Chain A
Amino acid sequence: MPDELTPQADSEQREAALPPADGGVPAIEPAPADGGVPAIEPILTVPHEPGAPKPDPILEVDGLSRSFGGLLAVDVDHLEVQRGATTALIGPNGAGKTTLFNLLSGFERADTGHWSFNGEAVTNPSADGLARKGMIRTFQLTKSLAKLTVIDNVLLGAPRQRGEKLWAAPFPNRWRSQEEANTERAEALLERFNLAHMRDELAGTLSGGQRKLLEVARALMADPVLIMLDEPMAGVNPALAQSLMHHITQLVYEGLSVVFIEHAMDVVTGISDWVVVLAQGQVIAEGPPWKVIHDDQVIDAYLGRRRAGAAR
């Protein structure tokens, strides 16, 4: 993988956000697909219980709730997400996973509760404001910008663009150098996600799986500190899914924190360091994947006894 894709030169101010050099991200092989080994050392010390405190949380959530009519969609008492780790958020349909994402990323208003991101309390959450602070999310139904080219889709992700200011926009000399640097990065990302050959095609012509990849590439372009992927593998063919999984593991090595929602258990066990299980809006279990998938409560709520028995 090309080195220039590691966190960018123009993100010095985020350096504090990156994991400490002293072992935050150990350079070990990816966790094997059978989910045996937790990849992150610090997380080894965390108790396997809902709301467990983490040694270095990037996200801390307290008393977060949101109801729709009479339905309490999210009711999270306490949740911490470890920095520099891959955290899977699983749960049966309707458990409130996407709603939790929406609340945390500012796309929906919480009824109660507060949270902090990257050590900073989130007051008055706005989707774009949180994104500018480095919390970048993707969507379950991909939001590729159909009538923009693939490269423009990715370029849109670049943060702090001078050319996005109205008064600078008509004068290319004010933003051309930055645009060129961004284009170089964007092309490298396309290369990495096997989309380089589609560079100048309209994004609307991509296949569903390619759009998923494009969305992840675009999210990475935004220099995220925390990337939140909503079902990144849904609708992606197995070969692409495999490469996407590889990319996600790679992200964590590069110092990012990843939270993802996923239904496919092989993906969860394959790439996550930690699993949070949501059911009826509440965190019912937390732990490393190998532990969580054998948890009785989780099996009851999510996997179903028969299937879990078969998996064993």
Chain B
Amino acid sequence: MDFSIIFGNAARAAFGPEAVILALAAIGLNVHFGYTGLLNIGQVGFLLLGAYGTSVSVATFGWSLWAGVVVGLLLSVAFAVALGIPTLRLNTVMFAMVTIAAAEIIRILIGSTDAIGLTGGPLSVSFDAGAFYDLNPYPDGPHDRYGIGTFEFTGQQLWVITVGWLLVALVTAGVVMLVRSPWGRVLKSIREDQDAARSLGKNVFSYKMQALVIGGAIGGMGGVIDAIKTSGADPNGFRPQVTFFAYTALLLGGSATYLGPVLGAVLFWFLREWIESFLRQIVEEAWLPDVVAEFFDGAEGVISVAMVGVALILLMLLRPQGIVGNRTEMQLDAR
């Protein structure tokens, strides 16, 4: 059993591009759910449009990567508006159902065989993200590695996560600036009681729409990073669990806090990878009876996700406000 490998893998996942993508998805959800109280469970739809907008623009239409990025972001904004107009007046539960349905509809349409010509359909679409990697300042020869042990990245990966975490920092700063303003106060008042906000002259629909668009665009950025990282997109990467992982990250870190979604995303991937590596080593070292080892073998990934679920349950019991949340605020819910 080599814990340096386990921790190396876990740290690699915690700071890798997947964590960046999850962090962006969770920051978007924080704007929706944490601050405005919009129970959006179709966040993955925004990521999908960010990723496919970028990929399809380049792969199918032959536009430049940067045009693709803009298209990806515009599509997620358009999705927010199209989703918001008919649904923002619905109650929380109805809104939630429509968001998950809408995200699934897009995924199924994009992944259908009829869409092969445009999006690659069930096959993934891939494109040349060279324009992005051309800017890579890190030497990226076949033997260039950055990091220690299993916590190491290639030059290209390091470039993706550098840009990714910078983006996370910028977006977080932007959200902080917005939320600390009177504008943010209105969002929170809508979360607490939208009729109260309305009775004080706030146009609740308009604010919800603004929040939906902003949070959706942030999710879309996650999708763009995903597309650039993999130089493509695959419909299977945008199943509903992506949204649930983002919620897990948000709740782990602390909903309606500035750093909660980021810390949560890092912790989510750390735990997930730590458990998976740990299980893999156990199986390899034949510590377990064959029957059990057979059960674990090849299922490490699934089990680790289940264990993250267990961690979330424990967290809800022991620290319901999340890592950086405010306990007093949380307790008010029970009143």
Nearest CB of chain A from residue B153's CB, rounded to whole Å = 33
Among candidates B178, B188, B203, B332, residue contacting A170 with C-beta atoms closer than 8 Å: B178
Tell me which of B95-103, B114-122, B193-201, B246-254 binds A.
B193-201
Q: Give every chain A residue within 8 A of B332 (Cβ-Cβ).
A: 146-147, 202, 204-205
A152 to B329, alpha carbons, bound, how many Å?
14
Tell me which of B123-131, B136-144, B179-187, B279-287 binds A.
B179-187
Q: Give every chain B residue within 8 A of A166 (Cβ-Cβ).
A: 178, 183, 210
Q: Give every chain B residue within 8 A of A170 (Cβ-Cβ).
A: 174, 177-178, 181
Q: Give every chain B residue within 8 A of A168 (Cβ-Cβ).
A: 181, 183
Q: Give every chain B residue within 8 A of A144 (Cβ-Cβ).
A: 196
Q: Which residue of A lies closest to B186 (CB)?
A: A164
- Is A136 within 8 A of B178, CB to CB? no
- Is B200 within 8 A of A164, CB to CB? no
Q: Give every chain B residue within 8 A of A128 (Cβ-Cβ).
A: 197-198, 201-204
- Is B329 within 8 A of A165, CB to CB? no
Among candidates A131, A145, A175, residue contacting B188 with C-beta atoms closer than 8 Å: A145
Confirm or deny: B328 has a beta carbon within 8 angstroms of a beta carbon on chain A: yes
- Is B196 within 8 A of A163, CB to CB? no
A152 to B192, alpha carbons, bound, how many Å?
12
Chain A interface residue bracket vs B = 35 or more
A130-153 Cβ-contact flags toward B at 8 Å (1 or 0): 011000111100011111100010
- Is A147 within 8 A of B198, CB to CB? no
- Is A159 within 8 A of B201, CB to CB? yes
Q: Which residue of B lies closest to A155 (CB)?
A: B185
Confirm or deny: A169 has a beta carbon within 8 angstroms of a beta carbon on chain B: yes
Q: Which residue of B lies closest to A159 (CB)?
A: B201
Residue of B181, B193, B199, B328 most packed against chain A (CB within 10 A): B199
Confirm or deny: B57 has a beta carbon within 8 angstroms of a beta carbon on chain A: no
A138 to B186, alpha carbons, bound, how many Å?
17
Confirm or deny: A6 has a beta carbon within 8 angstroms of a beta carbon on chain B: no
Confirm or deny: A222 has a beta carbon within 8 angstroms of a beta carbon on chain B: yes
- Is A145 within 8 A of B198, CB to CB? no
A130 to B185, alpha carbons, bound, how many Å?
21
Q: Give every chain A residue within 8 A of B193 (Cβ-Cβ).
A: 143, 145
Q: Which residue of A lies closest to B181 (CB)?
A: A169
Confirm or deny: A172 has a beta carbon within 8 angstroms of a beta carbon on chain B: yes
- Is A161 within 8 A of B195, CB to CB? no
Chain B interface residue bracket vs A = 20 to 34
Among candidates B185, B202, B203, residue contacting A152 with C-beta atoms closer than 8 Å: B185
Known: A131-B200, A143-B195, A164-B202. A202 touches B183 (CB 8 A): no
Confirm or deny: A156 has a beta carbon within 8 angstroms of a beta carbon on chain B: yes
A162 to B328, alpha carbons, bound, how many Å?
31
- Is B188 within 8 A of A172, CB to CB? no
Confirm or deny: B172 has a beta carbon within 8 angstroms of a beta carbon on chain A: no
Confirm or deny: A157 has a beta carbon within 8 angstroms of a beta carbon on chain B: yes
Confirm or deny: B304 has a beta carbon within 8 angstroms of a beta carbon on chain A: no
Confirm or deny: A218 has a beta carbon within 8 angstroms of a beta carbon on chain B: yes
Confirm or deny: A193 has a beta carbon within 8 angstroms of a beta carbon on chain B: no
Nearest CB of chain B from residue A256's CB, rounded to whole Å = 16
A163 to B187, alpha carbons, bound, how many Å?
12
- Is A127 within 8 A of B199, CB to CB? yes
Q: Give every chain B residue within 8 A of A137 (Cβ-Cβ).
A: 199
Residue of A131, A132, A155, A164 most packed against chain B (CB within 10 A): A164
* B→A interface (CB under 8 Å): 174, 177-178, 181-186, 188-189, 191-193, 195-204, 210, 256, 328-329, 332, 335
Selected A-B contacts with CB under 8 Å, 24 pairs: A107-B195, A127-B195, A127-B198, A128-B198, A131-B198, A131-B200, A136-B199, A137-B199, A139-B196, A143-B199, A145-B196, A146-B192, A146-B335, A147-B256, A148-B185, A155-B182, A156-B186, A156-B202, A163-B183, A166-B183, A166-B210, A169-B178, A205-B328, A219-B200
10 nearest A-B residue pairs (beta carbon): A163-B182, A169-B183, A204-B332, A131-B201, A169-B181, A143-B196, A145-B192, A170-B177, A132-B201, A127-B198
